Amino acid sequence: MPQTIVVDGRGLTLESVVAVARHGARVSIPVEVQSRMAVTRAVVDRAADGSDPVYGINTGFGKLASVRIPADRLQTLQRNLIVSHASGFGDPLPVEIVRGLMLLRINVLTMPTSGVRPEVALGLGEMLNAGIHPVVPEQGSVGASGDLAPLSHVAQGLLGEGEVDRWDPASPEGPVRQSAADALAAAGLTPVILEAKEGLALINGTQAHTATLALAVADALRLWQWAHAAAALSLEVLKGTPAPFDARLHAVRPHPGQVASAALLRDLLAGSEIRESHRSGDPRVQDAYCLRCTPQIMGAVHDALDHARRVVDVELNSATDNPLVVGKEIVSGGNFHGQPVALVADFVSIALTSLAGLAERRLERMLNPDLSGGLPAFLAVDPGLESGFMMLQIAAASVVGECRTLAAPASIHSVPTDANQEDVVPMAMTAALKARRMVANARYVVAAELMCGAQGLEYHRPLRSSPAVERVYERIRTLVPALTGDRSMTADVERLAAHLQEENVP
């Protein structure tokens, strides 16, 4: 039975987002939360029935906020808002992001600031639990008045319009594309007719780019662990020294990530026969930076990712629609602006570029016969006749090059929209999608390093590495066989990279 996540406007975590987005966890809205929503809704109903203009309730939107809408056309106003704004471009977002943003939007709607009827949030929850996910184009959001286009495509599905993908996480089949009307009917669900403010409440918010970044951060934090396993394996292959990971060195420069990185490397390398074999008599005084400075570089990466996680944790449970119901008042503001998330998404991209670049340098050092300390060129069985792992370094270099291009920040590139009403926009969705791409790129480079490290370790047999590194080696070998002659390694890299996303370091 899938896990159930209770949604109450304040309790979402990164782990609960992953559970719903990737593992089919169901959502539940407690009765007391629904009762709280009904109380807030009464404030909106009074405003809709009143004679004063209130933005988003009985007026137009954006630049058209000065246009007063008569009471008998408020339902039409809300539907028009949804269908007109459901106009994104490009390939559909993956189902996991759509599930994540649906969860996040339900959470916002359950807050006492939103002012929608309980059935709106319940309707989205029923769709999510039934595996019905609107088709959401990935392009079209600047993240300023929220992710208007992506969230509108989701809301359109709630109205029984547009297309959806139906997905069962227990089924080996992929999502099935069909009309929203047919999918809702098949699941026994009824389309929702929106009342005053509810259309705007569904689409003003940061949930598309926040869900995208949340999943990227979860993956990046796991990859950080695997990158240390790869670093430890490479250090052993290259007969490097763990001396620079001495706790005393890092205690006098106590950045949290640096201290944690050095400690992790010490744990990974403890008890190595390979280390003992070259402790004395090695003419080298210091290792290259890609080995020696791993804690300083990877520590900075950790601290960047940790900061991003803190921002995501806040955003998961933040009221980001507009206007907000505050007590008995309705107040317009700008909580929908995506700059907090956009900035850290760019930060994540920069940090992952550093991680990937560091891994590629160690990979190169193992394969280059001028740097590897006597290992066969490219770790080939018969160098010259065979190319060995040569292409993995070339492919990794191409990925690192792409990372460095994508690391240019999106969050500074404002392009004003809505007749200059929205004149400073954060490009948050662009930043979040870049971060997602960065995680995939960095994962490939770490997978390539792990493959080369496993091959290189075999040249030191019968000596054994540390117990922790040997466990990593055994895990790699369950997924990727040793290279006994040239072969295509695309499938090997893909299989190992997928494992790095799904599993922890052994």
Distance of CA 7 to the CA centre of its chain: 20
174 pLDDT more than 90 = no
| CB contact at 8 A, 400 and 452 | no
Q: Which residues contact 173 (CB under 8 A, 6 or more apart)?
A: none
Which pLDDT score is estimated for 15? Answer: 96
- DSSP conformational letter for 178: E
Across the chain, what does the average pLDDT equal?
94
Asked if residue 335 belongs to a domain, the reply is no
Q: Rounded to an integer, what distance in angstroms lies between the CA atom of residue 101 and that of residue 107?
A: 10
User: How many Cβ atoms sit within 10 Å of the Cβ of residue 441?
Assistant: 23
Which pLDDT score is estimated for 277? Answer: 87
Which pLDDT score is estimated for 61? Answer: 75
Q: Are 138 and 197 within one domain? A: yes
17 pLDDT more than 90 = yes
55, 289, 444, 459: the catalytic one is 55
% of the chain exceeding 90 in pLDDT: 85
Asked if residue 155 belongs to a domain, the reply is yes
Q: Are 245 and 148 within one domain? A: no
Asked if residue 342 belongs to a domain, the reply is no
239: left (phi over 0), alpha (psi -120 to 50) or beta: left
Tens digits of per-residue pLDDT, 213-272?
999 999 999 999 999 999 999 999 999 999 999 999 999 999 999 999 999 999 999 999
| CB contact at 8 A, 392 and 326 | no
Structure tokens at 316: 């998961």
16 pLDDT more than 80 = yes
- Residue 146: strand pairing partners: none
Q: Are 315 and 436 within one domain? A: yes
Structure tokens at 321: 């629609």
Tens digits of per-residue pLDDT, 149-159?
999 999 999 99
Give the helix ranges, DSSP H, for 159-293.
180-186, 198-203, 207-237, 247-251, 256-269, 273-277, 289-292
Backbone phi, psi, residue 149, to 5°: -65, -50
Structure tokens at 148: 């208007």
| Residue 18 Cα distances to 24, 100, 279, 391, angstroms | 9, 8, 44, 34
Asked if residue 325 belongs to a domain, the reply is no
| Residue 309 Cα distances to 72, 116, 243, 350, 430, angstroms | 45, 29, 31, 15, 18
Which pLDDT score is estimated for 4? Answer: 96
Asked if residue 294 belongs to a domain, the reply is yes
User: How many Cβ atoms sit within 10 Å of the Cβ of residue 449?
Assistant: 29
Q: Which residue did the predictor score with more confidence, 490 or 1?
A: 490
Which pLDDT score is estimated for 289? Answer: 97
Domains in the chain, number: 2
**Residue 55 designated active-site:** yes
Backbone phi, psi, residue 66, to 5°: -80, -5
Q: Are 261 and 379 within one domain? A: yes
Which pLDDT score is estimated for 283? Answer: 74
Whether omega before 462 lies within 30 degrees of 0, making that bond cis, reads yes
Q: Are 45 and 21 within one domain? A: yes
**Residue (of 322, 283, 17, 110) closest to 199 by Cα position:** 322
- For residues 324-343, give the mean pLDDT: 93
User: Which has the minimum average pLDDT: 200-209, 271-280, 339-348, 367-376?
Assistant: 271-280
Q: At what angle do helices 148-158 and 118-129 cross, to 10 degrees?
A: 90
User: Which has the minimum average pLDDT: 97-106, 210-219, 270-279?
Assistant: 270-279
Q: Are 175 and 228 within one domain? A: no
Which pLDDT score is estimated for 133? Answer: 97
276 pLDDT more than 90 = no
Q: pLDDT confidence of 169, banded at 50, 70, 90? A: low
Q: Rounded to an integer, what distance in angstroms lies between the CA atom of residue 360 and that of residue 370?
A: 16
The number of residues making up the chain comes to 506
User: Which has the minimum average pLDDT: 165-169, 247-251, 361-365?
Assistant: 165-169
- Residue 59: strand pairing partners: 68
Q: Are 368 and 236 within one domain? A: yes
Asked if residue 139 belongs to a domain, the reply is yes
- DSSP conformational letter for 144: S
User: Which has the minimum average pLDDT: 1-10, 389-398, 466-475?
Assistant: 1-10
503 pLDDT more than 60 = yes
The residue with tokens 């998961």 is 316
Q: Are 400 and 494 within one domain? A: yes
The domain of 230 spans: 213-320+348-502
168 pLDDT more than 80 = no
Which pLDDT score is estimated for 1? Answer: 53
Which pLDDT score is estimated for 54? Answer: 80
Q: Which residue did the predictor score with more confidence, 77 or 487?
A: 487
Q: pLDDT confidence of 467, banded at 50, 70, 90? A: very high
Q: pLDDT confidence of 354, banded at 50, 70, 90? A: very high
- Residue 166: strand pairing partners: 132, 176
- DSSP conformational letter for 59: B
Q: Are 225 and 197 within one domain? A: no
Q: pLDDT confidence of 399, banded at 50, 70, 90? A: very high
Which pLDDT score is estimated for 167? Answer: 78
- The amino acid present at 22, given as its one-letter code, is R
Residue at a domain's end among 189, 205, 221: 205
Asked if residue 45 belongs to a domain, the reply is yes
Residue at a domain's end among 166, 185, 205: 205
Q: Rounded to an integer, what distance in angstroms lies between the CA atom of residue 65 and that of residue 44?
A: 17
Q: Are 201 and 217 within one domain? A: no
175 pLDDT more than 90 = no
